[in-house]
Structure 1
Amino acid sequence: MAPGTGRESAADGTPRPWQMLVLATTGFALCFWAWALLAPLGPRLRDELDLSSFEQSVVVAVPVVVGALGRIPAGALTDRFGARSVSPSSRR
């Protein structure tokens, strides 16, 4: 097959481009879905865990802040060691 067509042999265990796209899209969708549930679940968490208004806002804000700040070291590690070494989804 011609290189770059997305139909290369995966005999060495390397995922094909379409497989990587499906895996990345699925991972993004699941993470976004879980993160997006925090805001609607806020009132229920407040009632069940007896959280103050500040504690409820921390529950909703921490995943956003950690995700935003976590991209900095993840990007630096990726630049230094490469995506295959850093990303858990690309390990064999």
Structure 2
Amino acid sequence: MRQILYQQEPRQLPELTAEDMDRHETILRAVKIHRLQESTRRRDEREAKFSAMEKAYAALEKLDPRLFEEACKMEANITFPRQMRVPTETPPTKIWDYLDTDKK
């Protein structure tokens, strides 16, 4: 198995100088900061959406309690409909016959 995976000897990583290591660590810190900022942005966005949803629920509850109850009602055994056909970009298996004169 090893002979198949490694037909050639694996390359050795080049020796990094102190400047290269500093650059590498700086890039890693920048990536970490970027990921933290993205995570914070996504969290803030989720919190804003949830807050807007709560305000909408409160307004609906004040406006029409019956609609509010219907909106909050949990339906039992919700499953994805198996009959639904998934859209694909491949042609159908049965090709349209343009010469078929036997119309039903």
Fold conserved between structures, TM > 0.5: no
TM-score, scaled to structure 1 = 0.41
Q: Which has the higher contact order (CA 8 A, sep 6+)?
A: 1
Structure with greater helix share of residues: 1
Greater Cα radius of gyration, structure 1 or 2:
2
The TM-score with structure 2 as length reference comes to 0.37
